[in-house]
Amino acid sequence: SQELEQSPQSLIVQEGKNLTINCTSSKTLYGLYWYKQKYGEGLIFLMMLQKGGEEKSHEKITAKLDEKKQQSSLHITASQPSHAGIYLCGAPKGSYGQNFVFGPGTRLSVLP
């Protein structure tokens, strides 16, 4: 079955620093979604990538999907305390399946 791995598991950075979170799939991805979760809250959709080589940006967050569609990275530029939280990647299990599998999450702390 398809699994998603994320690295690092947790990350502590100083405000203003750049950082990257990775998500790797054991199988070809039919789409890759990035979510952010704050403690005690639900998941907030950030971005969706579908095509190999695709890159999307929203404010200071950029996500990329590699050409082989098995790895994605989430890059935050000039991090702020508001970026702190848990970042999860998720993907549909197949081209026709509406079920999702999620990575274990990366916990980000940003020190002021």
Partner 1 sequence: DAEITQSPRHKITETGRQVTLACHQTWNHNNMFWYRQDLGHGLRLIHYSYGVHDTNKGEVSDGYSVSRSNTEDLPLTLESAASSQTSVYFCASSDLRSTDTQYFGPGTRLTVL
Is residue 20 close enough to count as binding partner 1 by CB under 8 A? Answer: no
Look at residues 11, 14, 26 and name the one whose alpha carbon lies nearest to residue 101. 26
Query: Among all chains, which residue has been given the structure tokens 């999702």?
Result: 100
Residues 32-71 that bind partner 1 (CB under 8 A): 33, 35, 40-45, 48, 50
Look at residues 44, 24, 19 and name the one whose alpha carbon lies nearest to residue 34. 44
Is residue 97 close enough to count as binding partner 1 by CB under 8 A? Answer: yes
Is 61 in contact with 80 (CB distance < 8 Å)?
no
Q: Which is nearer to partner 1, 18 or 55 (CB)?
A: 55
Is residue 14 close enough to count as binding partner 1 by CB under 8 A? Answer: no
Q: Which is nearer to partner 1, 43 or 76 (CB)?
A: 43
> In angstroms, rounded to a whole number, what is the distance separating the alpha carbons of residues 112 and 37?
20
**Binding residues vs partner 1 (CB under 8 A):** 30-31, 33, 35, 40-45, 48, 50, 88, 90, 92, 94-100, 102-105
